[in-house]
Amino acid sequence: MNTTRINDLLNILAVVQKPTTEAQSMNIIIFVIIVVIILVIVSTLYANKK
């Protein structure tokens, strides 16, 4: 059995962002996605609580 994947899955748990400008557009997209996720969830929870 090829154990490459198993070794890879024993990985270091650290997010490695792509450096600087080349990933900046990607960073903006992820940021917007995360903001939307948080805002939608928080507002839904708040609306349900009300």
Partner 1 sequence: MKFLEKKILIKTLIIFAIYFSYTVIVSSLLGVFNLNDQIYNLFIADLIFFFGMICAYKNKIKDDYHEFLNKYKLKEKILIIFKWVLLLFIFNLIMGFLTEIFLPSAADGIDDNVNALKSLFGVSTMYTIFKAMLFAPIVEELLFRESISECINNKIVFMITTSLIYAIMNTIYGDMSKTYMILDFISYFLFYLILSGLYLKYNKNIVIIMFIKFFYNLIPLTILLLGV
Could you say whether residue 13 binds partner 1 (CB under 8 A)?
yes
Q: Which two tokens stand for residue 40?
A: 């939608």
Could you say whether residue 38 binds partner 1 (CB under 8 A)?
yes
Q: What is the DSSP string of 1-50?
A: ---HHHHHHS------PPPGGGGHHHHHHHHHHHHHHHHHHHHHHHHHH-
Size of the site for partner 1 (CB under 8 A): 36
* Rounded least distance, CB 39 to partner 1, Å: 8
Could you say whether residue 31 binds partner 1 (CB under 8 A)?
yes
Per this entry, what is the length of the chain?
A: 50
In the complex, the residues that contact partner 1 under the rule CB under 8 A are 1-2, 4-21, 23-24, 26-28, 30-31, 33-35, 37-38, 41-42, 45-46
